[in-house]
Amino acid sequence: MTTAHLPPVYPDLAVPERVLLGPGPSMVDPRVLQAMTAPVVGHLDPQFVALMDRVQDLLHYVFQTRNALTLPISGTGTAAMEAAVANMVVPGDAVLVCANGYFGLRIAEMARRYGGEVSVLERPWGEVFTAEEIGTALAHCPAQVVALVHGETSTGAMQPLDGIADAVHAHGGVLIVDTVASLAGVPLAVDALGIDVCYSGAQKCLSCPPGVSPITLSPRAVEKLERRPVPVANWYLDLALLRQYWGAPRVYHHTAPISSIYALYEALRLVAEEGLEARAARHRRHAELLWEGLAELGLALHVPAAHRLPPLTTVCVPDGVDEAAIRRRLLDEYNIEISGGLGSLKGRVWRVGLMGHSSRRENIVLLLAALRRLLR
């Protein structure tokens, strides 16, 4: 008989407070962190149920929608992405994915796994689509589901959305839009734009810890969900089941991440207090300050000015510069986190996020000063 070894002694949790200027997570407002320390109650406690209603009201404001089916998914932004795909794609559906970066391609892969007949309309990473070219693609090959990314985190490109829903609806489809990196950071009005499924993540411009992800479905999307000939293949993300927990009759589905919902509630309150227009203006103002400072350092940006996403900037790495070494020195010497490129942009760009609570003038001044010294 063997004797189990005594477990090692592990150190106390000691996490540095970083200046988070990468593609997410963003820095979290102290009020949001404080909210997470509130006592945990049951997921059907009357006080928590009342809080769920308030969270949904605030999500209606942030999404600028009246959609009844609006709730936070228990999971990160990728879970919301998968919920959108799993609920809208019926096996055999024609699916058109407009991909101009890493996350558009991820949507396409998910749609294939859920049985969609996927076509990919591609653009070089950093470019955007027009409503006309999407309409032309649908005229040649109609699709029941069309998906694209509003703020492509891998490139820093912001996709114009005007007219796209009209083109999709004219051919009988529903439109899915990924706003993980754009919601509450740039102007976005779900109902006015005609978006059918819109999802996001908490850890970007909402400045909430990752773990809950808002999603909203239009009446057109709900109708498609309700007339599915087969159940949603992903039980955990089945919105037909989730809406029975987030609305009457409050049927148990899973144990909600109570403390994460507290955090989301406080983060959404902060958005409402600042106001969507003022918040978008702050993100734009600080992005322009960053862009001007980078130009003074002789650094080029990957995305043309007309289509830049204010919360996320891709900076071209100068020839002869070790981009990973610069990122490491920023972290070690200045406590600043930025990120490298993904996919075809790996090693070619830095990704700098000014999202939510991270979008502050002092952070930009610090980053520019650090880069000026490190790139000499």
Range of the domain at 351: 19-24+276-374
Q: What is the band of 118 on the pLDDT scale with cuts at 50, 70, 90?
A: very high
Q: How far apart are CA 87 and CA 252, in angstroms?
A: 19
Do 281 and 268 share a domain, yes or no? Answer: no
Q: Do 217 and 284 belong together in one domain? A: no
User: In CATH, what number is assigned to the domain containing residue 101?
Assistant: 3.40.640.10
Task: Name the percent of the chain lying above pLDDT 70.
Answer: 99
Sign of CA dihedral 198, 244, 143, 75: positive
DSSP code, position 357: G
pLDDT band, residue 280 (cuts 50/70/90): very high
Residues near 277 by Cβ (< 8 Å), separated by ≥ 6? 187
Are the CB atoms for 279 and 287 separated by under 8 Å? no
Q: Say if residue 6's pLDDT is above 80.
A: no
Are 187 and 250 within one domain?
A: yes
The torsion angles phi and psi of 348, rounded to 5 degrees, stand at: -105, -20
Per-residue pLDDT reduced to its tens digit, 40-88: 999 999 999 999 999 999 999 999 999 999 999 999 999 999 999 999 9
Is 3 part of any domain?
Answer: no
Mean pLDDT of all residues in 213-232: 98
DSSP state of 211: S
Q: What is the pLDDT of residues 172-185, one digit of tens each?
A: 999 999 999 999 99
Q: Are residues 243 and 341 part of one domain? A: no
Which of the two residues, 154 and 376, has the higher pLDDT score? 154
Q: Do 168 and 115 fall within a single domain?
A: yes
Residue 9 inside a domain? The answer is no
For residues 313-327, average pLDDT: 97
Neighbouring C-beta atoms of residue 331, cutoff 10 Å: 15
Q: Are residues 246 and 122 in the same domain?
A: yes
At which of 216, 250, 272 does a domain end?
272
Q: How confident is the model at residue 93 (pLDDT cuts 50, 70, 90)?
A: very high
Residue 1 pLDDT > 60: no
Residue ending a domain, among 256, 272, 288, is: 272
For residue 192, is it within any domain?
A: yes
Residue 299 has pLDDT above 90, yes or no: yes
Residue 43: which of 236, 263, 262, 208 has the closest Cα?
262
Beta 145-149 vs 117-122: how paired, if at all? Answer: unpaired
In tens, the pLDDT along 107-117 reads 999 999 999 99
Domain count, the chain: 2
The stretch 332-361 carries a mean pLDDT of 97
Chain mean pLDDT for the chain? 97
320: domain CATH number is 3.90.1150.10
- pLDDT band of residue 4 (cuts 50, 70, 90) is confident
Q: Is the dihedral of CA 362, 213, 166, 67 positive or negative?
A: negative
Do 239 and 299 sit in the same domain of this protein? Answer: no
